[in-house]
Structure 1
Amino acid sequence: MGIFIKLGWYFKREWKTYLVGVFGLLLTALLGIVPPWIIGHLVDAIHKHSLTVQQLVTLLVTLTVVSLAQYLARYIWRTAIWGESAKLEAVMRERLFWHYMQMDTEFFQHYRTGDLMAHATNDLSAIQRVAGGGILQFADSIITGGTTLVAMMLVVDWRLTIIAILPFPFLAVMARVLGKKMHNAFRKSQAAFSRLNNKAQESISGVKVIKSFGQEEDDVAEFNGQIDETIEINRQVNKLDAMFDPITTMIMAVSYVLTIVYGGHLVVSQTISLGELVSFVSYLSMLVWPMFAIGMLFNTLERGNASYDRIANILNQHSGILDKEDGVVKGPHGDLHYAVESFTFPDEQDENLHQIDFTIKEGGTLGLVGQVGSGKSSVIRLLLRQFDSYQGAIYFGGVDIRDYQLDALIPAIGYVPQETYLFSNTIRENIRFARPDASQKEVEQAAAKSDLADQIQTFPAGYDTQVGEEGISLSGGQRQRIAIARALLIDPELLILDDALSAVDAETETEILQTLRAERQDKTTIIASHRLSSVMNADEILVMRDGQIIERGSHDQLMAAGGWYAETFNMQALETSEKGGQLNG
């Protein structure tokens, strides 16, 4: 019953509606007492040859009215209980999704997408069944079972009732023994479903890579292996679950035998009439559902309890990024001073950034270059407040970025990563994702700044072109330029291009960078790139290696120094000339 306690916050909030539902169940149970009583009277009247037409009509009319009343009572409890269970699922789903939106990068590195999806689907459905079917099974087993037992004792005979329910304590023993085993089994089952869900999600997302390397058979074999594992775990669950119904049936069968034997004796001794015995058997048959409901109840509760614990574990996770309630609410404006002494990613031991210090004047441009793994993206991730656990400070407009409220800081930053994510929507809606109220003219202006407007006009549907899942219908360069247009649409104080021009050609790159220099003379820009032509016009260029700055200066200064930057620039220039291209300078 622990899950009912865990959901107590919701039951307290919606107690009025649940009270109406329980009242409907009580009314249904009380009305259910009448038909067996009517049948008993009919049997006695027929047995005594005293049944009259008037009596028959009266009993049949009464039976009809009771049936209609039961229909109304069932409608009341179904609407109340099932309606509230659906509302609980909506509340939990909204709470979980909002929690996902508030969590930091570390959280999503720890939990895989398929696992989070399983929490938001399978686990929430199990909890919803507790608030619906669980409440029904719990209340109905008590109410229907209790009212039926009272009717059996008052309407027929209390001694026969005691004899009939002698086997029932064995049901409680069975529930206690199997309940603990089922809880552990259900936890394993839900975890197996999460793993299977994650595998399916990864395989579908990576189907292009799987096919390009001809790994279809190996991936299918791995997927089938996880299916077999999940089936085996669920088979163990089903074995435990399957024990409830047969044992309940055996207990009810023993009750019927005792009723027939002892009840027959009472009829022969004329302690009760034949009609009363028939009524008693009808009442006993009404106890079949409460007995089975108890078995179903433990199934529902244990599954819901396991799922609630899994979701509670997620909701109890806290973001490492603290949004100060008394933080600065005005967006940043001014110089950017980056002074990070040390930073290490969570769960890692080696330092990722060391003594990174630079200043970008308002309206200036900074270039970040270096080999893969040199720390360029780490520098940017701290600016985006994906991590706050570093030694030092980052000042934007003279204020530590950790002192800004997130709603003030994040909208002031336009970020374009190398791996662009587009939504399954139109080009227009993808561009104005950050500003849903942007006009068509503003969307077109942003597209023009990213050198994409002319290509969009060639599409049959123009800005209404559907990009497909993750922009699958567009080229890599087109996806990157849509992302750049999306960032430019909000006219950010700080624009960050994280290797965001890697998929466009040199000519398009030049057009975009020239537009940015002209349009953003009073706004700050950071360009991280492997292609040095992207940063050669920056006010300052930082060359990074192993999380440290090994060279810094303007393009001319770095070329004169003859270090890594100069060697790499000359090598890229040679490669470009060999391909018939021209390095922009």
Structure 2
Amino acid sequence: MRVFLYLMWFFKQEKKAYVTGILLLLLVAFLQLVPPRLIGVVVDAINNETLTSADLIKWMTLLLSSAVGMYVLRYIWRVMIFGSAVKLGRQLRERLYKHFTQMAPQFYQNRRVGDLMAHATNDLSAVQQTAGAGVLTLVDSLATGLFVIAAMAITIDVKLTLIALIPMPFMAILTNYYGTLLHKRFGVAQEAFSDLNDKTQESISGVKVLKTFGQEKEDIESFSSLSKEVVDKNIAVARVDSLFDPTIALVVGASFFLSIFYGGQMVVADELTIGQLISFTTYLGLLIWPMLAFGWLFNIVERGRASYERVEALLNQDIDIKDKPNAIAAPPKGEILVEIDDFTFPGSSTPSLKEVHFTLNRGETLGIVGRTGAGKTTILKLLMREFEGYEGKIMIDSISIDEYSKSALRSSIGYVPQDHFLFSASIKENIAFTNPALSQSEINRAASLAHVHEDILGFSSGYDTVVGERGVSLSGGQKQRISIARALIMNPEILLLDDSLSAVDAKTEEAILSSLKETRNGKTTIITSHRLSAVQHADLIIVLDEGMLVESGSHEVLMKQKGWYYAMYMRQQLEDLVEQGGHAE
């Protein structure tokens, strides 16, 4: 029952609803005692030939009144308790989602999307069930059981009641054992469901890759294997769960046997009337629900406990990157100073950046080039405070970036990542993602600057075309340019293009860069690229090699140095010439 202690914060929060619901539950449990007693009275009156029409009408009126009262009260307590449980589900879901949005990239690198989705859906449903059906079952089973036992002992016979309760300790021992097994097996079943959820999400997202490589059969087999594992784990849960009802039925049967056997002897000995024995067995019938509910309760609370512990483990994960007290709320503008002496990604032993120092004036363009893995994207991630823990400093307008609030810093930055993520929405909604209230003309302008406007007009529904999840219906170049339009529409102080022109041809690249130069006067732009034509116009170009800055300067300066930049530029020029058939334009 530890899960109820876990949820005590919520019960205190919704104490009015829960107290009202529980009081009404207790009242219903008390009213349930009326019918068996009335039945016994009527039977004795019939047996003694003393029942009159007036008495019968009186007893039937009481019986009907108790039924109507229970009907109304059951409706109200369900609204109170189940309504509160729905609020718990909403609160935990919002807390978990907010926590997800605050976590650093490292958090997601160590966890699968499908697993996180399972926590936010399946686990929270189990916790919500505990706060609703679990509370109901706990209170109702205890109240009904205690009231019935008290009625049996007080209104009929104490000795017969004790005899009828002899099998109950065995049920308590067995159900406790079943509950322990259930907790262990349900935790394993939830993990299996998470694996299946992750597999499904991954396969659907990568369906084009699966089809391209002809791996549909293998993927289906892998899915079937995981699905079978989920079934096997849940069958293991069901095997334990299935023990509750037979055990309870056996205990109830033993109680009925003892009650009728000894109760019959007491009737023969004139210690009980027939009506009292009928009332006693009817009361005993009312004990079936509390005992069944008690078994069901173990199922609910053990599932809820396992799920709550999984959710709490996520919520207890520290937020790696936090705002300082009284962090600056104004978006930063001005000169960018980067002096990174050393930075190593968490969990890695090899530095990703070392001795990278440069200054970029406001309104200038910086080009960052180098081999794959040289550290180009790492600089951008540090600038956006996706990671911390580096030796050195990064400053904007002479203020360290960790002095700004994360929201203020990132509101100044328009970021176009290498992995262009588009939402399953219309092109218009994707471009206007940061401000859905933007006019169509503003959206068109951003698309034109990214040179994707004509492509969009060629789609069947134009800007209202739904692109599918992750932009599955678009080409790589179209996704890149829509992502650029989404960043440009912010008119950010700092624009980061992380190898964001790799999927467009040289002519389109040149047109986009010209548009940026014309429209971003006074704004800072940072471009990382493997293709040097994308950065040759930059005010400053830095060359990275294995995380170290090995060359820096303008295009003309670097060409004169005849180092890595010069060699790579000449090589790419030759490759372009070959692609044009050996003739320069």
Name 1:507's counterpart in structure 2.
Answer: 507
For 1:362, the equivalent position in structure 2 comes to: 362
Match of 2:517 in 1: 517
Once the two structures are superposed, what CA deviation does each residue of 1:205-241 show, in whole Å capped at 9, x if it has no partner? 1111111111122222222222232222222222222
- Separation in 1, partners of 2:474, 2:31: 66
CA contact (8 A) 2:367 2:527 kept: yes
| Aligned-partner residue type, residue 392 of structure 2 | G
Q: Trace 1:341-380 onto structure 2 (pairs within 5 A).
A: 341-380=341-380
Aligned twin of 1:46: 46
Cα pair 1:339 1:393 within 8 Å, conserved: yes
Structure 2 match to 1:323 = 323
Aligned-partner Cα distance in 2 for 1:443–1:200: 35
Pairing 1:537–2:520 present = no
SS in structure 2 of the partner of residue 395 of structure 1: strand
TM-score under structure 1 length normalisation: 0.97
Report the counterpart of residue 236 of structure 2 in structure 1.
236
Q: Shift of residue 581 of structure 1?
A: 8.2
Question: How far off is 1:584 after superposition?
Answer: 11
Q: CA deviation at 1:256?
A: 0.3
Runs of 5+ unmatched residues, structure 2: none
What residue in structure 2 maps to residue 475 of structure 1? Answer: 475
Q: How does 1:173-572 map to 2 (within 5 A)?
A: 173-572=173-572
Q: Secondary structure at the match of 1:174?
A: helix
SS of corresponding position for 2:97: helix
In 1, Cα distance between the equivalents of 2:517 and 2:76?
68
Q: Distance in 2 between matches of 1:583 and 1:415?
A: 37
State yes or no: 1:133 paired with 2:136. no
| Alignment-derived partner of residue 580 in structure 1 | 580
Paired position in structure 2 for 1:157:
157
Q: CA deviation at 1:582?
A: 10
CA contact (8 A) 1:123 1:311 kept: yes
Quick check: 2:337–2:394 contact (8 Å CA) kept in 1?
A: yes
SS for the counterpart of 2:238 is helix
8 Å contact 1:336–1:394 — kept in the other structure?
yes
Q: CA deviation at 1:418?
A: 2.0
What's the counterpart of residue 68 of structure 2? 68
Shift in Å, 1:559? 2.0
Q: Which amino acid aligns with 2:543?
A: V
Structure 1 counterpart of 2:186, which letter?
A: F
Distance 2:214 2:441 in 1: 46
Q: Where in structure 2 are the equivalents of 1:99-118 lying within 5 Å?
A: 99-118=99-118
Return the offset for 1:44. 1.7
- Cα distance in structure 2, aligned partners of 1:445 and 1:204: 34
Partner Cα separation in structure 2 for residue 243 and residue 233 of structure 1: 16
Distance 1:176 1:454 in 2: 69
- Other-structure match for 2:19: 19
Question: How many Å separate the matches in 2 of 1:207 and 1:253?
Answer: 56
Contact kept in structure 1, 2:414 and 2:495, CA below 8 Å: yes
Contact 1:533 1:583 in 2 (8 A): no
Contact map agreement 1:506 1:583 (CA 8 A) in 2: no
1:491-525 alpha-carbon deviations (Å, 9 max, x no partner)? 11110000111111111111110011111120110
Query: What's the CA shift for 1:325?
Result: 2.7
Distance in 2, Cα, partners of 1:465 & 1:213? 28
In structure 2, distance between residues paired with 1:112 and 1:482:
27
Once the two structures are superposed, residues 510-565 of structure 1 have per-residue CA deviations (whole angstroms, 9 ceiling, x without a partner) of 11100111111201100001111100101111111211122222112222222222
Instruction: Write out per-residue CA displacement over residues 398-447 of structure 1, whole angstroms, 9 at most, x where no aligned residue.
Output: 11111111121001000001221111111111111112232222222211
Shift, 1:246, TM fit: 1.2
Letter in 1 for 2:340: V
Instruction: Please give the per-residue CA displacement for 1:131-190, whole angstroms capped at 9, x wherever unaligned.
Output: 011101100111111111111112211111111111111122113323222222222121
Q: Structure 2 CA distance, aligned partners of 1:488 and 1:382?
A: 21
Secondary structure at the aligned position of 1:551 is classed as strand
Alignment partners' CA distance in 2, 1:235 and 1:557: 71
Give the whole-Å Cα distance in 1 for the aligned partners of 2:480 and 2:62.
75
Whether the 8 Å contact between 1:418 and 1:501 is mirrored in structure 2 is: no
* Whole-Å separation in 1 of the counterparts to 2:469 and 2:582: 35
- Residues 503, 584 of structure 1: alpha-carbon distance in 2 compared, 3 angstrom cutoff: farther
Give the Cα separation in 1 of the matches to 2:317 and 2:370. Answer: 35
Amino acid paired to 2:564: W
**SS class of match (1:392):** strand
Give the match's secondary structure for 1:243: helix
Post-superposition offset of 1:462: 2.5
Q: What's the secondary structure of 2:60's corresponding residue?
A: helix
Q: Distance in 2 between matches of 1:45 and 1:582?
A: 115
State the distance in 2 between where 1:401 and 1:582 align: 49
The Cα of 1:71 is off from its aligned counterpart by: 0.2
Shifted more, 275-284 versus 220-229: the winner is: 220-229
Q: Give the stretch that moved more between structures: 250-259 or 233-242.
A: 233-242
Q: RMSD value over aligned CA atoms?
A: 1.6
Residue 36 of structure 1 aligns to a residue in which SS? helix
Does the CA-based 8 Å contact 1:354-1:548 persist in structure 2?
Answer: yes
Q: 1:437 to 1:583 in 2, by over 3 A?
A: farther
Whole-angstrom distance in 1 between the partners of 2:469 and 2:119:
23
Contact 2:353/2:547 (<8 A) preserved = yes
Moved more, 7-16 or 189-198: 189-198
| Alignment partners' CA distance in 2, 1:17 and 1:466 | 44
